[in-house]
A and B are shown apart, each in its own frame.
Chain A
Amino acid sequence: MQQQKSSEGALAVLLRETAQAHFLRTLAMPDALAALRERRDIARRLLAHLGEEPEPHAAVSLLMLDHYRALLEAELAWIDRVVAILMAHMSSSLN
Chain B
Amino acid sequence: MWQIICLCLPAVTHSERQRFFSLFSSALQASGNRPGEMDFGLFFLHSLSPEEALTVLEERLALVTRSQELLRLQPEKESVQDVLQAAIDDHMHTLLSAERAWLQRTIARLRLLSVTGNLLLT
- Chain A residues in contact with chain B, CB under 8 A? 8, 11-12, 15, 18-19, 21-26, 29, 32, 34-35, 38-39, 42, 49-50, 53, 56, 58-68, 70-71, 73-75, 77-78, 81-82, 85-86, 89
Contacts and interface: CB of A to CB of B under 8 A. Distances in A.
B39 A65 contact: yes
Contact of A39 (B1, B8, B83): B8
Given A64-B45, A71-B4, A86-B83, A19 B89 contact: yes
Contact of A64 (B38, B80, B94, B99): B38
- Give chain A's interface secondary structure class: helix
B102 A11 contact: no
A78 to B, nearest CB: 4
Contacts of A89: 80, 83
B1, B6, B8, B92 — most chain A CB neighbours (10 Å): B8
B2 A18 contact: yes
A74 B98 CA distance: 6
Contacts of B1: 71
B30 interface: no
Contacts of B39: 64-65, 67-68, 71
A22 B83 contact: no
A70 B92 contact: no
Nearest to A82: B87
Contacts of B91: 22, 24, 78, 82
